[in-house]
């Protein structure tokens, strides 16, 4: 079946199987490699993308459900001021080790910042990121990086 959506600002029309997940369409057919494959059951967050501005696990979205939607990934979002601040802060705070989880964290943190730019508390950030797992960093540095980016954006 044919599905069309906007991917990173460009219209895409693509043939997919009705049971194909967005993760596979993005990675295997459209070459979007920032979207990582992890648990494939909605638990780890490495496949997170924005769908109509909201973070979703692309392994849990059937591609036909994305018909007409706007999908954004780090490849596109990295041009935004908030994402630049997040990336700089992740590097500065050593919040990246293997880096496998990083695109998912950046997408989720960006959505958090956009949803509630002023007045995000540390608790909001902890809660907002709880759907993204990292096997390397122990989370403390990721948390510091996001809060630091937030502080910079607010000043
Ligand atoms: S691969 Fe999608 S949530 Fe883990
Ligand atoms: S930096 Fe390796 S999984 Fe997070």
Residue-wise DSSP of 117-133: -TT--HHHHHHHTTT--
Residue 84 sits in the same domain as residue 147: yes
Q: Which of 30, 58, 73 is the last residue of a domain?
A: 73
**How many degrees, rounded to 5, is the angle at CA 78 between CA 152 and CA 75?**
160
User: Positive or negative CA dihedral for 141, 144, 148, 150?
Assistant: positive
Q: Which domain holds residue 26?
A: 2-73
- Spacing, Cα 138 to ligand 1 middle (Å): 19
A 10 A CB-CB count for 56 gives 21
- Spacing, Cα 155 to ligand 1 middle (Å): 34
Ligand 1 site residues, Cβ closer than 6 angstroms = 37-40, 42-47, 57, 59
- Answer whether 106 contacts ligand 2 (Cβ < 6 A): no
Predicted confidence at residue 118, as pLDDT, reads 67
Q: Which of 36, 52, 73 is the last residue of a domain?
A: 73
- Spacing, Cα 143 to ligand 2 middle (Å): 13
Mean pLDDT by 10 residues, the chain (155 residues): 98 98 98 98 98 98 98 97 97 96 98 83 94 95 95 84
Predicted confidence at residue 100, as pLDDT, reads 98
- CA–CA separation, 120 and 44 (whole Å): 23
**Nearest bound ligand to the CA of residue 141:** 2
Residue 88 sits in the same domain as residue 135: yes
- Answer whether 139 contacts ligand 2 (Cβ < 6 A): no
Q: What is the pTM of this model?
A: 0.96
Predicted confidence at residue 117, as pLDDT, reads 65
- CA–CA separation, 1 and 69 (whole Å): 16
Residue 65 sits in the same domain as residue 92: no
Number of domains in the chain: 2
What kind and span of H or E run contains 71? strand 70-72
DSSP-derived 3-state class of residue 54: strand
CATH code, 106: 1.10.150.120
Residue 35 sits in the same domain as residue 55: yes
- Answer whether 99 contacts ligand 2 (Cβ < 6 A): yes
- Spacing, Cα 114 to ligand 1 middle (Å): 22
Residue 62 sits in the same domain as residue 98: no
């Amino acid at each position: 079946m044919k599905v069309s959506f906007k991917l990173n600002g460009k219209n895409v029309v693509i043939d997919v199987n009705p049971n194909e997940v967005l993760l596979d369409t993005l990675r295997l057919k459209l070459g979007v490699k920032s979207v990582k494959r992890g648990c494939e059951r909605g638990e780890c967050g490495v496949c997170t993308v924005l769908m109509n501005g909201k973070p979703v696990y692309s392994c849990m979205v059937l591609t036909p459900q994305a018909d007409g939607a706007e999908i954004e990934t780090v490849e596109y979002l990295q041009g935004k001021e908030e994402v630049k601040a997040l990336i700089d802060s992740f590097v500065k705070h050593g919040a990246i080790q293997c880096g496998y989880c990083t695109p998912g964290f950046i997408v989720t943190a960006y959505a958090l910042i956009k949803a509630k730019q002023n007045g995000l508390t540390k608790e909001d950030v902890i809660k907002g990121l709880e759907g993204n797992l990292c096997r390397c960093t122990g989370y403390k540095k990721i948390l510091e990086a996001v809060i630091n980016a937030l502080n910079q954006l607010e000043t």
